[in-house]
A = this chain, B = another copy of it.
Amino acid sequence: MERQRYNIAILGGTGAQGSGLALRLARAGHAVTLGSRDGERARVIATELTTRAEKSIAGADNRAAAAAGEIVLLTVPYAAQRATVEQVLDRLRGKILVDATVPLVPPKVGVVQLPDGGSAVAAIQALAGAAVRVVSAFQSVSAQHLSDLAHDIDCDVLVCGDNSSACDLVIGLCADIGLRGLYAGAIRNSAAAEALTSVLITINRRYRVAGAGIRITGVGES
């Protein structure tokens, strides 16, 4: 089956995780636009990533990027999550918003500190309403591994969302970049992926490794 190519915007794409996803999605043939609060900075980083990916990656401010994307990824720090979505909300209607936010609360980022209601991403679905299909994904994938194009990534992606076809599409994007995405339930189940990230940070520290990840066992090939 030929994979569909999408226009994908990555808001907060100048950060480590957004840049890593941009590299891999561009190499898989998608048209990627990096978004940032600062459009000029987005263009500078996009030029650097274009060289590394050997594929053209565009840069723009977050609103212009959100307008350009058929699918919009959100990879901003937790503290900027809600404001960023509010700023581009009118550009998201009818689209899929893939939210990779983890509610880390510095300085104790290794301690699970889920927000009231349980999930930072479910809160965005509640904010955005039914016109935006929010999908939670990519929380557990290390930015360092994403950015290291010489290696495949030994990690699965938990994909949560209330819209089943939107989840399937994101599982397809995972496959495009060599990751196995697994449907992990309704959007509120994103709490599991969000909480797990603090556990992985703790494991990285305790066992002196970088980029611990997860695999789900017992489901086909892992």
Query: A interface vs B, CB < 8 Å?
Result: 110-112, 114, 118-119, 142, 154-155, 158, 182-186, 188-189, 191-193, 195-196, 198-200, 202-203, 206-207, 209-220, 222
Copies of this chain assembled into the complex: 2
Chain B residues, Cβ within 8 Å of A186: 111
B110 x A118 contact (CB < 8 A): no
**A198 contact from B182, B189, B210, B222, Cβ within 8 A:** B189
A185 x B202 contact (CB < 8 A): yes
Smallest distance from the beta carbon of A168 to chain B beta carbons, Å?
11
Given A154-B217, A199-B158, A217-B213, A207 and B189 touching (CB < 8 A)?
no
B111 x A185 contact (CB < 8 A): yes
Smallest distance from the beta carbon of A20 to chain B beta carbons, Å?
15
Residue of chain B at shortest CB distance from A153:
B217
Residue of chain B at shortest CB distance from A117:
B114
Supply 16 A–B pairs (Cβ within 8 Å), ascending by A: A111-B188, A111-B189, A112-B189, A114-B114, A155-B217, A182-B207, A183-B202, A184-B203, A185-B199, A185-B202, A189-B195, A192-B195, A192-B198, A192-B199, A213-B216, A214-B215
Smallest distance from the beta carbon of A115 to chain B beta carbons, Å?
10
